[in-house]
Amino acid sequence: MPSCDILIAGCGYAGAVLAERLASQCGLHCLVVDRRTHIGGNAYDAPDAAGVLLHTYGPHYFRTNSPRIREYLSQFTEWHPVDYKILSWAEGRFWQFPINLNTFEQLLGRPAGSCTSEEMTATLAEWRVPIDLPKNSEEVIVSQVGWRLYELFFKNYTLKQWRRDPKDLDPSVCGRIPIRTNRDDRYLAENFQALPRDGYTAMFRRILDHPKIEVRLGVDYREILPHAGHHHLVYTGMIDEYFDHRFGALPYRSLRFEPETLPVEYFQPVMQVNYPNEHDFTRIVEIKHATGQRLPVTTIVREYPADYGPGKEAYYPIPAPEARALYEKYAARAEQERDVSFVGRLATYRYYNMDQVVGMALAEFEKLRPKFLRT
Ligand code: FAD
Ligand code: UDP
């Protein structure tokens, strides 16, 4: 029979970071349970049959603006710095993406290096649709760059990915993608961009390497719950599932990953190519470019959006007003749940990146610490 102080459902960032903090700082025995057969949650990585280190659940580009979060994780990993660079494929050619001064020159058919930021800013001012407070993902893009660039890069990619019109998604979805008038062509805007040097799984192994942390894989926490003898539950799965969908099922998006190993060193020029308008997949990822692994063969992964349903993983909460309204009902109910913390992307129904989930887990630890130092 298992016995612990803290039962933790889920061994992704939310669960692993809380286990590490509660074990190392409060001396609590943490039992971390995951129904998958591995640690790391969606950040898990592992070599495939050809020896190529793959991000099993889609590309995970670590980035953060928070020195605190970087320093916390740096206890468990060295870093391999990467300027994440991608391209977009549309109208039969590669485009520089996210939109920047180079993209602008491509669009106008001007020689590389011939335009200035001032010209681009002035032209975008003519193209943009004046909207002061964008209310959705269409408005957030057309208010910055106008219809042509929106239709070239955003409209159909978003329809494929979410099976919703960008008008029906929060501005934060397409608003994640930077738009620049300089030549900075990195996909992400955060000031620290790097991968754990030995991979995510190795980093998680070190986070969990503590005598007071026990990990059980391939088990649903509900099987353990009646026998755990715990004082507190940390829950990091889907919040509607926790409450048996009593207010109705929250919407999620899923994905299907299609890997292909090829007998060439590299397949494409960069680690990720987005396909806004052609094909059923949204992107082809060749993560080798980012990890820096040297091998004579490569593996690419085509990523197909999918409806969430039986047998599918819930990869994305859907940032939209009616989904948030339903989530709020669950959140209000969760507030009343005694001795349970709801932490992480699915338990708080937020389209959060890894660093944000680490931040959320560290904040939850600060909230819990007084309770456990008293007892
Ligand atoms: P998860 O990693 O989902 O972990 C939750 C765990 O709980 C899962 O392993 C699940 O099996 C387990 N669980 C659920 N229910 C139960 C149960 N009943 N019993 C036992 N176990 C249970 N972030 C970035 O910063 N950069 C990126 O480039 C990036 N790319 C992404 C690409 C994709 C395709 C996806 C899906 C996500 C991406 N993310 C990225 C987001 C990142 O994956 C998350 O922010 C992070 O992994 C969330 O951690 P978590 O602990 O909240 O959840
Ligand atoms: N997006 C788009 N075109 C692109 C890239 C992104 O329309 O070429 C939109 C799309 O709605 C996507 C969102 O921006 O879901 C966020 O993109 P990101 O690459 O950050 O998605 P993630 O890696 O989280 O799947």
pTM: 0.98
R_g (Cα) of the chain, nearest Å: 22
pLDDT higher than threshold 80 for residue 374: no
Q: Which of 158, 179, 315 to mutate to test the pocket of ligand 2 (most atoms within 8 A of CB)?
A: 158
Q: Which domains does the chain have, with CATH numbers?
A: 6-39+208-250+318-372 (3.40.50.720), 105-175 (no CATH)
Report pLDDT digits (tens) over 18-71.
999 999 999 999 999 999 999 999 999 999 999 999 999 999 999 999 999 999
Residue type, 203: M
pLDDT higher than threshold 60 for residue 1: no
Ligand 2 atom nearest residue 166's Cα: 11
Q: What is the DSSP letter of 110?
A: P
Taking the CB of residue 109, how many other CB atoms lie within 10 A of it? 6
Q: Which of 82, 236, 316 to mutate to test the pocket of ligand 1 (most atoms within 8 A of CB)?
A: 236
pLDDT band at residue 373 using 50, 70 and 90 as cut-offs = confident
Report the C-alpha gap between 342 and 326 in whole angstroms. 16
Give strand pairing partners of 62: none
Report pLDDT digits (tens) over 58-117.
999 999 999 999 999 999 999 999 999 999 999 999 999 999 999 999 999 999 999 999
Inter-residue contact 40 to 215 (CB < 8 Å): no
Q: Are strands 192-196 and 63-64 parallel, antiparallel or unpaired?
A: antiparallel
Ligand 1 atom nearest residue 58's Cα: 34
As for ligand 1, residues whose beta carbon falls within 6 Å of it are 9-15, 33-36, 41-43, 57-62, 220-222, 236-237, 255, 315, 344-346, 352-355, 357
Inter-residue contact 255 to 303 (CB < 8 Å): yes
Task: Write out the two tokens for 344.
Answer: 């992480």
Q: How far is the CA of 34 from the centre of ligand 1 (A)?
A: 12
**pLDDT at residue 3, rounded to an integer:** 84
pLDDT higher than threshold 60 for residue 375: no
Taking the CB of residue 48, how many other CB atoms lie within 10 A of it? 14
